[in-house]
Amino acid sequence: MIDTIKAWDEGLFIYLNSFHHDQLDPVMFQLTQTWPWIPLYLFLSYLVIRIYGKSSWWVFIGIGLTILFADQFTSGFMKPFFERLRPCHDPNWDGIVHNYGKCGGLYGFASSHAANSFGIAMILFLTLGQKYKHIKWLFLWAAFFSYTRIYLGVHYPADVIAGGIVGLLSAIVAWNISKAIYKLSKHSVRQAS
C-alpha cells in the first residue's frame, strides 16, 4: 500500500514538475519567498484591525500560534522523523527533476511552506470569513504558494498535501487557544472592575 502511494506520488511529481518554462522559473522562485506577499499580509492585517480594533491582538496571537505550530510540527518533528529526501536531493532523480534555485534542507516531508500558508488561510477564514466572504480565496493563494514548491523541484505532492493538513489543523487549534485567551482576558477585566 505504502509503495503504491509512493509510486503515485512520485509519478504525479514528475508530471507536475515537467511543466516549467525558463522565463517562468525566476518568477516562481520569487513567488515562493515571503517578501513578495508582504503587501497581502499588510492588507489582511488591516482587515483584522478594521473588524476587531483594539481587540485584534488575540487574532494576531492566533496567527502567530498557527505559524509556530505548523512550522515546528513539520520542520521539528515530521522531517527528521520520516527522513524522506526532497526530490532535488534524491540521486534517483538526477537529470530528471527540474530544480530551480535552492534545494533546501535534506528532508521534505512535510512542506512547511504548505503548512504555514494553509494555516494562515484557515485562521483568517475563521476570524474574517463571516464579515468578508472573499477571504475564502486565500485557500487558492495557499494552494498556489504550495504548488511553487513542486514546480521548483523541492517537494513531492504528498509533502504539500500533508503540510496543508498540518496547517489547517494548526490553525483550528491556535484559533481555539487564542479565543480562550481572549475570553479569559475579558473575564479578568470584568472581575477587576
Assigned domain for 101 exists: yes
Q: Which has more confidence, 164 or 2?
A: 164
pLDDT at 188 over 90: no
Domain assignment present for residue 117? The answer is yes
Residues 6+ apart with CB under 8 A from 163: 70, 74, 110, 111, 112, 113, 114, 115, 118, 146, 155
Q: How confident is the model at residue 186 (pLDDT cuts 50, 70, 90)?
A: confident
Domain with 174, as residue range(s), is: 53-188
Least confident of 52-56, 72-76, 90-94, 182-186: 182-186
For residue 58, being part of any structural domain is answered with: yes
| pLDDT(101) > 90 | no
Q: What is the pLDDT of residues 76-90, one digit of tens each?
A: 999 999 999 999 999
- Mean pLDDT over 154-174 rounds to 98
> What local confidence, expressed as pLDDT, does residue 190 receive?
66
- How is residue 63 written as a grid cell? 496567527
**For residue 30, what are the CA distances in angstroms to 16, 140, 165?**
19, 18, 24
Q: Name residue 128's amino acid.
A: L
The pLDDT confidence band at residue 193, using thresholds 50, 70 and 90, is low
In a domain, 12, yes or no: no
Residue 7 lies in a domain: no
Asked whether residue 47 carries a pLDDT value surpassing 60, the answer given is: yes
136 belongs to a structural domain: yes
Angle 127-182-60 (CA atoms, 0-180°, nearest 5)?
Answer: 50
Q: How far apart, in whole angstroms, are the C-alpha atoms of residue 156 and residue 8?
A: 10
This prediction's pTM: 0.94
For residue 85, the SS3 value is strand
Mean pLDDT of the chain: 94
Query: DSSP states of 164-193 as a string?
Result: HHHHHHHHHHHHHHHHHHHHHHHHHHHHH-
User: Is residue 22 in a domain?
Assistant: no
Cα-based torsion angle of the residue sequence 149, 79, 104, 89 in order, rounded to the nearest 10 degrees: -90
- CA 106 vs. chain centroid, Å, equals 19
- Decide if 124 is inside a domain: yes
Work out the average pLDDT over 15-39. Answer: 94
Domains identified in the chain, total number? 1
